[in-house]
A and B are shown apart, each in its own frame.
Chain A
Amino acid sequence: MFAEGVQAFDLTNAAMVFIVMAMSSFWRTPGRATLRDIALVCVADALVGASFGALAVSGGLPLWVPVAMSLLVFAGGAQFAAIGVALAGGAPLAAVATGLVLNARHLPFGLAVADVLSGPRWARLLGSHLMTDETVAFTLRHDDPVRRRATYWLCGLALFVVWNLSVLLGALAAHAVGDVNALGLDAAFPAVLLALVLPALADRPTRHAALLGALIAVAATPLLPPGLPVLLSLLALVPFLPRLRAPS
């Protein structure tokens, strides 16, 4: 009985400390430039989200499909891919498989930002759901642990709210938006990723590995089912791994 009480107190205490740390670091640590960049990525993703909602509904899917997907799956690339399979008349299981292969990259992402998700269990369970390409890329820009944590949570929460609202609005306005492709919004997602990943390419071995990986993925795209080519890009790490291990 006593032990249980102590444990419960311990947990709440940890949660309190975590919240206070996170809240105070939100405004102090990410820095003005990072806050601005996060806001701008939110604007960009809002456009992509709205086009996702519009695309799904104008393709004939009921409104709840894009809305539920955005809340529960919360991964733009996989959502577009799964909807694409469904709209092309593919089986639901094929849509699920495509989305899952695309989302397998979140496993290495989670390893890379695991430090941010340490702490109370609820923070890890909740924080994991907020993991996206954009949030991981932003977090990797920082080395300082406090700054990494603040950036991850701020970017993750902001994108979750913005993504879900914009998908809903896009789905509601599906008929007003008209032809999504005419607006060129399909170029927005790769543009966002490129802009985010660019600072990491300043490092020479990383740049070479990433360019080789991109080449592998693009070359494999006509040959493999969707999602696999991106995972295959990891082969580009092989020539660089021995060199990374050497210094330590």
Chain B
Amino acid sequence: MTATLPMAAILLLAAGTYAFRLAGPLLHERLGAADRLAAPLAMATTVLLLALAATSALTEDQGFAGWSRTAGVLTAALLALRRAPFPVIVLAAAATTALLRLCGIP
């Protein structure tokens, strides 16, 4: 059996995603005077982004993603702490992961 993803499924995912995106600005307008929400929301965003970075660095299909990717992202983290430029960070992450995989590490 070949894999499929019908157009209706893509449209459903697109519509739901757009609803999530639009809900924030609309709710913000309704709530009004939301300046005191700015700090907690900035913190919530950072929490979500780091959680996303951590799970996509370490896990795949609910299991461990393997040492190659982990080492690649760790390299990126160290370079980012040392304020390396963006392409250096990203290329170092991919290169480290690719090199380790070439050596047979999953």
* B59-81 at interface with A (beta carbon < 8 Å): 59-63, 65, 68-69, 72-73, 76-77, 80-81
Q: Roughly how many angstroms separate A186 CA and B106 CA in the complex, as a whole number?
A: 12
Are B41 and A112 in contact, CB atoms less than 8 angstroms apart?
A: yes
Q: How large is the interface on A (under 10, 10 to 19, 20 to 34, 35 or more residues)?
A: 35 or more
Chain B interface: which size bin? 35 or more
- Complex contact A191–B93 (CB within 8 A): yes
- In Å, the complex CA distance between A221 and B16 comes to 23
Give the residue of B3, B17, B27, B77 whose beta carbon is less than 8 angstroms from that of A111: B27
B49 touches A72 (CB 8 A): no
* Distance of A213 Cα from B48 Cα, bound (Å): 7
Majority secondary structure of chain B interface residues (helix, strand, loop or mixed): helix
CB under 8 Å from chain B, chain A span 179-237? 181-198, 200-201, 205-206, 209-211, 213-218, 221-222, 226, 229-231, 233-234, 236-237
Residues of B near any A CB (own CB < 8 A): 1-14, 16-18, 20-25, 27-29, 34, 36-63, 65, 68-69, 72-73, 76-77, 80-81, 85-87, 89-90, 92-99, 101-102
Q: A95-B9, A110-B20, A117-B25 are in contact. List 4 more A-B contacts (CB 8 A).
A: A73-B17, A184-B97, A187-B93, A189-B56
